[in-house]
Amino acid sequence: MDQAFLDLLIEGLPELEPGRPSDAAALKYANYYGIDFSRHVEQHLGKVHADGFDLAVQLWRPSRPKGTLVILHGYYDHMGLYRHLIRWALGHKLAVLAFDLPGHGLSSGDRASIDCFLRYQKALDGVLQSAVDWNLPGPWHFLGQSTGGAILIDRLLHGEMPTETGENILMAPLVRPRQWGMSQMSLKLLGGFIQQLGRRFTDNSNDPDFLAFIRERDPLQAQILPVAWVQALEKWIPRIESAAPASHRPLIIQGQADGTVDWQHNIKVLQEKFDAPELLYLPKARHHLANEGKALRKEYLDWLSDKLGY
């Protein structure tokens, strides 16, 4: 899939109106990423305006859904990479709602950048406000991977959840990244002279096909690390670590071979902030749980199916 096609797709994205059939371009995009489930469910791709951004939003709705799963993707990700979770949810007769964060995937914004993490909350607000008119059934389960988990953590500690919220699922959630102290020192050394660094790909999954795909065949992968995003993270971390505890009890899935986030510190913080969250540790799993190897995915998805009662 070439960049010219994606540029035309982005330029022509209509307002998201469930009921409008997906066009050929939308289905070509979905097929490339393995998220074309249109033979079995209603599937719609469009955009929602929020906080000055055009956010690409996608909806999958089976007949007579039993609830809704909202997916919040991780940094550098986009909703096209979440086929395993979408397939699992549809198999349980859940509608699925996903969107690309600002600066990611098909959404507008400086690539892989943000000037304040609270803008992610405004993006989520915009999508949820639009979803009121889409007649998606409760309970509404929320799932956040990595930075998506950070967005969900912030919402649970500082915001309001829909009245029909079910489970809140945090997968390898971000509070602090690994070696955060070194990153802060590097920020200070860089000062205001460098605005971006080259991205360094890591082996964040045990699935070699996924690693090869994002490195070689995914045109939606940003190749830079904007300093502005790291500065926004630096301002956001104290907001979470100083927050008052909340009564929510999220489900947390954490790989113990995760080299991306400081998971030992993060889990301790989350245990202090939430009311006895339920934890599933996966000793061999790395960071990108949404695209881990098949056996590891099955282990945590079976656990989630039991917790959600499906």
Q: How confident is the prediction along the chain (310 residues), in pLDDT tens digits per residue?
A: 888 899 999 999 999 998 887 899 999 999 999 999 999 999 999 999 999 999 999 999 999 999 999 999 999 999 999 999 999 999 999 999 999 999 999 999 999 999 999 999 999 999 999 999 999 999 999 999 999 999 999 999 999 999 899 999 999 999 999 988 877 767 666 666 788 889 999 999 999 999 999 999 999 999 999 999 999 999 999 999 999 999 999 999 999 999 999 999 999 999 999 999 999 999 999 999 999 999 999 999 999 999 999 8
Beta pairing, strands 140-145 & 42-50: unpaired
CATH architecture of 3-304: 3-Layer(aba) Sandwich (3.40)
Per-residue pLDDT, 310: 86
Summary mean pLDDT of the chain: 95
What's the pTM value of the predicted model, to 2 decimals? 0.97
Please count the residues of the chain.
Answer: 310
Among 155, 159, 160, 97, smallest CA distance to 131 is for 97
CA distance 252 to 263: 11
Residue 208 sits at the vertex; the CA angle it makes with 34 and 308, to the nearest 5 degrees, is 55
3-state secondary structure 10-45: HHCCCECCCCCCCCHHHHHHHHHHCCCCCCCCEEEE
